[in-house]
Amino acid sequence: MTYCLAIAIEDGLVFCSDSRTNAGPDRVSTYSKMHRFSVAYDRSLVLLSAGNLATSQAVVAQIQRDLEEDASFNILKARYVADVADYIGEISVREQAKYQASSAPGAGPGFNANATFILGGQIKGHPQALYLVYPEGNHITASELYPYLQIGEAKYGKPILDRIVRPDTPYETAMRCALVSMDSTIRSNATVGPPLECLFYRNDSLKPHARYFTLEERHPYLAKLRQSWDDNIREAFTKLPPLNEVFADAE
């Protein structure tokens, strides 16, 4: 599995992805799931992928090829981020169809070529935008109240996002929240793992170099973050209201 998320705040867009892929417990590998496409001061786009690795790699390869071959439509020719989301949806559906059971005799009953993407960024002259592209090729954007999108193993890390992230959350808090959401998932699910990639695109900057870092398993910051969060959470528990008042029957 995979876990990727993106947060749309007033400051800009935060992206975070893990790097573990697995096809069965003895086929565990590490691949980056964060892909960046930028032209300085014109457009800056980030793509996160989850699902079938062959499909996501084929989609990214096709995007690159369309750029190199200056195809009739490519990421540089798009006027809106939504157009790029449509384009990625179309490539993804085409790639999946090649290998699904009905058309590919090699596919077993458990085979699933589905892939899901998060696409975010900005094209000059338009506001920043964030989309989730479904395996069916259609897409949604984030909600105003809970301005984030998740793909892959999303449930473990959702409660902390629901509690913390709002449109006016500062970007450092949003990034740390993304890391805690990711770390909670890693701790509870063996199919999600580091290195973690984290990127912040500042709204209207359109700069080629967004704020970006990766955290390997043994990175001192990741260790510090985990320890600090564990300590803080334990302390938070000690401050919860005592239960005496709710017991219906005395012991």
Binding footprint of a copy of itself on the chain (CB under 8 A)? 155-160, 162-164, 172-173, 175-177, 180, 184-185, 187-189, 202, 207, 209, 211-215, 219, 221, 224-225, 228-230, 232-237, 239-243, 245-249, 251
Is-cis flag, bond preceding 241, omega within 30? no
The least distance separating a copy of itself from the CB of residue 159, rounded to whole angstroms, comes to: 4
- Structure tokens of 14? 């935060």
The least distance separating a copy of itself from the CB of residue 166, rounded to whole angstroms, comes to: 11
In degrees and rounded to multiples of 5, residue 58 shows phi and psi of -65, -40
The least distance separating a copy of itself from the CB of residue 22, rounded to whole angstroms, comes to: 18
The least distance separating a copy of itself from the CB of residue 198, rounded to whole angstroms, comes to: 8
Q: Which is nearer to a copy of itself, 131 or 156 (CB)?
A: 156
The least distance separating a copy of itself from the CB of residue 176, rounded to whole angstroms, comes to: 5
Q: Which is nearer to a copy of itself, 84 or 160 (CB)?
A: 160
C-alpha distances in Å from residue 163, one per residue of 14, 219, 226: 17, 27, 19
CB 132 within 8 A of CB 117: yes
Q: Which is nearer to a copy of itself, 128 or 189 (CB)?
A: 189
Cα separation, 124 vs 29, in Å, equals 37
Helices 220-238, 171-188: crossing angle, 10 deg rounding: 90
Q: Which is nearer to a copy of itself, 42 or 162 (CB)?
A: 162
Residues 6+ apart with CB under 8 A from 142: 6, 7, 8, 130, 148, 149
Q: Find the distance separating the first CA and the last CA of the chain, reported in whole Å.
A: 46
Q: Which is nearer to a copy of itself, 58 or 161 (CB)?
A: 161
SS3 215: strand
The least distance separating a copy of itself from the CB of residue 137, rounded to whole angstroms, comes to: 24
Residues 6+ apart with CB under 8 A from 35: 46, 47, 48, 49, 60, 63
The least distance separating a copy of itself from the CB of residue 35, rounded to whole angstroms, comes to: 17
